[in-house]
Amino acid sequence: MIWDGECGFCRRSVEWVAARDRAQLFHIVPYQQTPSPPMTDQLRERAKRAVQIIEPDGTVIEAGRAVAFVLGAIGKKRIARLMMWGPFRPLTEWGYRRVANNRDFFSKFMFRKSCAVD
C-alpha cells in the first residue's frame, strides 16, 4: 500500500488499516519512501492524489477501488462488495475524490480516535 506520508489524515487511515491487518497482508509505505522499483514517475504522480495498492502480479489498484480491496482483505467483506457493486462503484470513486480533495476538513472528524481494533 502506497500512501501520502505527508498527510495526517492518510497516516491515521493507514494506522487504522495496520491495526486490523492481523495477517500482515499489506506492506504499507509512504510514496515519498517507496523505492524504485516499484516506484515510477507515473506511479509517484498518481500516489500524490490517491492511495495505491500494488498486487503481487504488479497490478495497481487505486483510489476507491483500493479502499474496497483493503477493506475486503481485512475482513470488512460486505462493505467492500457493496462499494464495488455496479451501481455503487461510481459513488465509491466520487466519495473517495471528495474525501481526498478535502482531507483537512475530513480529518476533523474521521480517524480522530485511537486506532485500536474494534
What domain count does the chain have?
A: 1
Q: What is the pLDDT of residues 99-117, one digit of tens each?
A: 999 888 877 777 655 433 3
User: Is residue 33 included in any domain, yes or no?
Assistant: yes
Instruction: Indicate whether 116 belongs to any domain.
Output: no
Return d(Cα 107, Cα 19) in angstroms, integer: 18
Q: Is residue 73 part of a domain?
A: yes
In this structure, is residue 102 part of a structural domain? yes
Residues listed for the chain:
118
Residues 6+ apart with CB under 8 A from 72: 80, 81
Lowest-confidence region among 19-23, 84-88, 111-115:
111-115
**Residue 115 domain-assigned?**
no
At which residue does the C-alpha cell 504522480 appear?
45
pLDDT tens digit sequence for 24-51:
999 999 999 999 999 999 999 999 999 9
Domain assignment present for residue 111? The answer is no
Indicate the Cα dihedral angle 43, 44, 46, 48, nearest 10°. Answer: 160
In a domain, 117, yes or no: no
Give the structural domain span for 65: 2-106
Distance in angstroms (rounded) separating the CA atoms of residues 25 and 118? 19
pTM equals 0.86
Range list of β-strands (E), 4-95: 29-30, 52-54, 60-62
Residue 118 maps to a domain: no
